[in-house]
Amino acid sequence: ARGGASVDPRLPRVTFLARDGAGWRSLCRLTSATHLGGTRGEPVSSLTLAGAHSAGLLAVLGPGSSVGRALAAGRADLAHARLATWRSVFGPGQLVLEVVHHRGQGDRSRAQAMLRLAAEAGVPAVLTNAVRYVDALDAPTADVLDAARRLVPLGQRHVDRRTAEGHLKSGKEMALLAEELAGPDRDAALHLLETTARVAEQCAVDVRADLGIGTVRYPELDVVTSAAERGMGPSAVLRARCEAGFGRRGMTPSAAVRERLEEELAVIDSLGYPSYFLTVADVVTLIKELRVRAAARGSGAGSLVTYLLGISDVDPIRYGLLMERFLSPLRHQLPDIDIDVESARRMEVYDAVIERFGSSRVSCISMMDTYRVRHAVRDVGAALGLPPAEVDAVAKAFPHIRANQVHAALRDLPELRASRLGSRRSGGSGDLDLLFDLVARLDGLPRHIALHPCGVLLSDATLLDRTPVESSYLGYPMSQFDKDDVEELGLLKLDLLGIRMQSAIAHAMDEVARVDGQQVEIDAVPRDDPTTFELIRSTRTLGMFQIESPGQRELVGKFGPQTFEDLIVDISLFRPGPVKSDMVTPFLMARNGWRDPVYPHPALVPALEQTAGVVVFHEQVLQIVSVMTGCDLAEADEVRRALGEKDAHPEVKAWFAPRALAEGFDVAVVEQVWEVLVAFGSFGFCKAHAAAFALPTYQSAWLKTHHTAAFLAGVLTHDPGMYPKRLILDDARNFGVQVLGLDVNASAGTYRVERVDGGADGGADDDDRPRPRPAWMPAAMPDPGRYGIRLSLADVKGIDADEVARIQTGQPYRSLTDFWNRARVSRPVVERLVLAGGFDSVYGFGVRDSEGGRPARRRQQLTRRDLLLQIGELDRWSRSGAKAAGTGQLGLDLFGAEASGETEPGLFDVETPAEDAGGQPEFVASGLPEFTDAERVRAELEVLGLDASRHVVEFYRPFLAALGAVPAAELLQCRSGAEVLVAGVKVATQTPPIRSGRRVVFVTLDDGTGCADATFFEDVQGPYAATVFHSWLLVVRGVMRRTGPRGVSMRATGAWELPALHEAWETGGLEAVAELMAAPGEYTEQAIAGAAASRASRPVVVRPVLVHPTGFRMSPYADIKPAGEDAATAARRAAAAPPRKLWHSSPGSSGH
């Protein structure tokens, strides 16, 4: 409300109001036609278009209309003429004149002129305030928003508003305005107010009858049924399909299963939802017919009906799932079934759904992107005319938090206090106080409308009568209502979530089929493969769905899953509920046999036996409440939902305790169970949801176990996880998979698998000799060393999809000139391909001889630098339009053969063995040296964002050995309580919400041998926060703690930038390093004071804590994407050897 709408001042503005249901339908149609008929983002309507959709509408012509503008110009005659035009289109009672008085210069005379025109023309006049913001104090905020939208700094333009009167005024204030305009004629003022009230009363839209709130409109039954099913009602069709589903699933239904089906069908029928299930099933069938992977998620997996219809692939009977968590006769709310599809093909699914149901029944959902701190800093900085580079640096200094937390963050976070960005009162410079004040005011305001990432509307053919639609940036029809609005309006919302892991799985299966000729049916593989679970227990789970994060890897190491059911439990344990109620430790103790399971009462054993007496699932809460109170599961779910509201706890306990006591439970048992329910009930995890998640978790683990290279190629191509690609490549090396370098003759638009049984040329790895099988690798696991992963062309900086396609189409290439002529790629991209080694195999760079694995010696030692010189010649030749020829001129194909196969004089044929090239070299190289290892890595980082040929930490191995740093692979050998140093590339930084409400920073480092995870609690963040968030190569000191058979954690006590320590070592030895690690360095006294301020024993600063309605406490600075420099920018700034910065863009990584 505060931001208001920014309008183009060059065009007239008219307001249309719906007077009734017909008016609402006209308003939706007019809005849609306006947006869809013009340029996206610039909706412009016309009187003709408005007239075509005028039924039930009231046109309000104000100061911004063509009539008002004529009056403002002193042309009363022109105003009368334009008003007559409007009256010819909008009949009697459909037109009013708007009077606005903002008490600016000339406002009163213009408003009185509008009153005179209304009286002369016999058209009603209404008084409004043309509201732009809620109160007068928000006027500067509106100015900033207007400046940001128009991309013109405030200081370079005239502010539209002349006063701060455009706020939402009270009735009394509007009455005073009417009196000012009418002067001594009080009757005229009263008449104006009465007319305004009467017109407002005429605009009455019934929310149920006209907007459809309270009813659901499904696609017509004929749309979702076959010809054989025509004439049957939706309930009959649903029952018939469920019966057929038993055969498709290979099930022989028992009496209990049939009873379950009858109960579910009865609930669905009583709620009027058969058409909903038929529609969702029709969409899922359509997706699968496209051969797109699809899987249901959420509580819908607990329904037998969804399983029989093919919507879900999780058997609710086998895994003990409850339908009441999903659908209840006590809850008259449309159920929510989310469908996961391959992210790479989500738009293809959208196209198919629109084609299947028609544009009159389908629309995407919109969402409103609102201001948070980083966007607010950038837009306010632009509005104030501050230098863009400085504004960008300030924005990146903040974590991804709400804009209204900006002042608190400047005060509380040590890395921001050290930056001195804050006010003088908090120890900062105070130079940006105005910027941050305005940033805080933008909090939560709309920034722009965007396409919802997964929401799709399905309705009958009247959809466009109930929602205005515009075109999204991808060209899809998009409702202007968000997900909450459409549910209220009775529109069927289906979430089609693009899941990258589904695309990665599909890619892996395609690669296995392409390379090995084996068709993998991942949905049919047994879910009890012991080798798969052995690999999971090894904690080598990078890339695996849901279990690759630092916390999950630690939990997997403690837990040691052995069955699919264990995966369901594991996924559910790693949630706020079990953490808040401190149930993880008791579960693990019982699981590992360190204590016997403890059950509050024998009657609860069936509900809690799977989880060793610990409440893990929502379904267990339902069962506990039902057993202890005698209520049915539907009513128990209502109790669970009420537990989500802390204010409702007394009322729920007053209901629960007496009924439990009446059922014969002791007071002590009732109190014990109540405490568990209060702590867990709202924050637990739905078992059906966990089971749905466990399926792709297991499938990804199975693929990594049995087809390692193919799976990791899928992960690299579709980037589904939280880690950068360089870490996944490093994981591939650790599994024995070779990383094959960029190659214009072998690389494609995706990461592809190649057989490398006998070694392969063109590898990115410096050492492609077979590696010994790691001790942690399951003995029965197929050897991944027989395969390599080829780097993708799509990762080359600046390359576009068309260039990638042309390169692939033209493969193979015999020379750089051949490539230049046929691939038609821009010069910068060709240069990057050379820099990253894309032509190394073409010219034999790095080819090893057949005897000792040494680099082959050639008579004419060509280098990447020579190729870069030739690119300049090729570019000049292309621009001149004439080939260089003749004696004394540089030949076109300097280093290879033409595409025709002919070799011109003066050329060196790289395909000829060096020793057979003849005694007279035919080309004299420039003599420029080949890239050093450091230059190669730096080029890879700049072009690909990957250190493909050599791990960047390798440059520091001698120093780290002298320092005594422990490789990540050896951390399991460290005793608990030992103080260690670890080093590596920072690949992930997170500050998630935790039980204490304090900020905790989790950092993952990669050193080439594996991952090391460190935890920075608030008591040590002060001096080191800036280093942790804004450096890429780190040395971290910490104390080890063993947490299970393969579980370790490290409590960090310090962090330093690895290159700085390395430099100190080179100049002054370990003494200089020790001195640097002992000194505060660049951090100010304020930053050091932050550590003391965060100690629980000496609270100097009172930090804000966000409290969820359930009582869960969390830091307002909790953020899975904390502060830091953008990774792509960091790579551009990579400088001297050894490389210091890395570029990656994986979700959840620091700086994104």
Using CA of residue 514, residue 516, residue 522, residue 524, what is the dihedral sign?
Answer: positive
Residue 668 has a CB neighbour count (10 Å cut-off) of 9
Q: Which amino acid is at 83?
A: L
The answer to whether residues 983 and 1012 belong to one domain is yes
* Rounded average pLDDT over 760-782: 73
**What digits encode the pLDDT tens for the residues 587-599?**
899 988 888 999 9
The answer to whether residues 243 and 332 belong to one domain is yes
Q: Which amino acid is at 233?
A: G
Residue that terminates a domain, selected from 635, 663, 696: 696
Task: Write a three-state SS string for 220-253.
Answer: CHHHHCCHHHCCCCHHHHHHHHHHHHHHHCCCCC
Calpha distance 109→957 (Å, rounded): 81
If you search the block for the tokens 């933008």, which residue do you land on?
A: 442
* Rounded average pLDDT over 237-253: 96
pLDDT value of position 147: 85
Least trusted range by pLDDT, from 575-579, 1000-1004, 1021-1025: 575-579
Least trusted range by pLDDT, from 137-141, 172-176, 573-577, 628-632: 573-577
Q: Is residue 985 part of a domain?
A: yes
The answer to whether residues 331 and 390 belong to one domain is no
Confidence band of 331 (pLDDT split at 50, 70, 90): confident
Q: Which pairing describes strands 787-790 and 1011-1016: parallel, antiparallel, or unpaired?
A: unpaired
DSSP string, 886-937: STTS--SSSSS--TTS---TT---TTS-GGGS-SS-S-----PPPPPHHHHH
Q: Is residue 763 part of a domain?
A: yes
The answer to whether residues 711 and 793 belong to one domain is yes
* Rounded average pLDDT over 483-487: 86
Q: Which two tokens stand for residue 834?
A: 């050379």
Question: What interhelical angle do 687-706 and 708-718 show, nearest 10?
Answer: 120
SS3 453: strand
Question: What interhelical angle do 274-289 and 234-248 show, nearest 10?
Answer: 50
Confidence band of 685 (pLDDT split at 50, 70, 90): confident
Confidence band of 495 (pLDDT split at 50, 70, 90): very high
The answer to whether residues 69 and 184 belong to one domain is yes
pLDDT value of position 294: 95
900 pLDDT more than 50: no
* Rounded average pLDDT over 896-913: 37
* Rounded average pLDDT over 630-635: 96
User: Among residues of the chain, what percentage have pLDDT more than 90?
Assistant: 64
* Rounded average pLDDT over 1145-1149: 33
Name the β-bridge partners of 498.
341
600 pLDDT more than 60: yes
Q: Is residue 472 part of a domain?
A: no
The answer to whether residues 326 and 228 belong to one domain is yes
Least trusted range by pLDDT, from 59-68, 101-110, 803-812, 1116-1125: 1116-1125
Least trusted range by pLDDT, from 308-317, 321-330, 800-809, 1043-1052: 1043-1052
Confidence band of 890 (pLDDT split at 50, 70, 90): very low
The answer to whether residues 911 and 972 belong to one domain is no
The answer to whether residues 1115 and 1041 belong to one domain is yes
Q: Is residue 299 part of a domain?
A: yes
What CATH number does the domain containing 169 carry?
3.20.20.140
* Rounded average pLDDT over 792-810: 96
Q: How far apart are the first and last CA of the chain?
A: 29
Residue that terminates a domain, selected from 673, 696, 719: 696
More confident residue, 857 or 596: 596
The chain-wide mean pLDDT, for the chain, equals 86
pLDDT value of position 212: 81
**What digits encode the pLDDT tens for the residues 160-190?**
677 899 999 999 999 999 999 998 889 999 9
pLDDT value of position 1135: 36
The answer to whether residues 886 and 800 belong to one domain is yes
The answer to whether residues 110 and 228 belong to one domain is no
Omega within 30 of 0 (cis) for the link into 1138: yes
Q: Is residue 518 part of a domain?
A: no
Confidence band of 758 (pLDDT split at 50, 70, 90): low
Count of the separate structural domains present in the chain: 6
Q: Which amino acid is at 578?
A: P
Confidence band of 488 (pLDDT split at 50, 70, 90): confident
Q: Which amino acid is at 458?
A: L
The answer to whether residues 659 and 729 belong to one domain is no
Domain that holds residue 879: 707-916
Using only C-alpha atoms, what is the Rg of the chain? 34
Q: Is residue 945 part of a domain?
A: no
Name the β-bridge partners of 99.
127
